[in-house]
Amino acid sequence: MPIFEYNCRDCGHQFEKLVNRSEQPRCPSCQGSKLEQLLSVFAVGGATRKLAATPAGPCGACGDPRGAGSCKLD
């Protein structure tokens, strides 16, 4: 069952819901059924963001603090 993100058109509440295909989701705040399905961003446990935000070490290939050319990866 996929997780979908919704915006309730009745009260404006945004929420995520694990939805079965035959199930009609309702807003947990007002129980409204006028929902707009939002585009979700695929995430892999946040690892992608951590790697992108962490700068590589001086080597660039492996991060060896001795600098470029000090490991077998260069």
Q: What is the pLDDT of residues 8-20, one digit of tens each?
A: 999 999 999 888 8
Same domain, 53 and 28: no
Q: What is the pTM of this model?
A: 0.52
Number of folded domains in the chain?
Answer: 2
pLDDT < 70 positions in the chain: 1, 41-64, 67-74
Residues spanned by the domain of 20: 3-40
Collapse the DSSP code of 30 into the 3-class scheme (helix H, G, I; strand E, B; otherwise coil) and give the result. Answer: coil
Same domain, 57 and 36: no
Same domain, 61 and 32: no
Please report the pLDDT score of residue 1 as a whole number.
61
In this structure, are residues 61 and 71 in contact, taking their beta carbons and an 8 Å threshold?
A: yes
Same domain, 55 and 35: no
Same domain, 50 and 34: no
In this structure, are residues 71 and 59 in contact, taking their beta carbons and an 8 Å threshold?
A: yes
Same domain, 23 and 36: yes
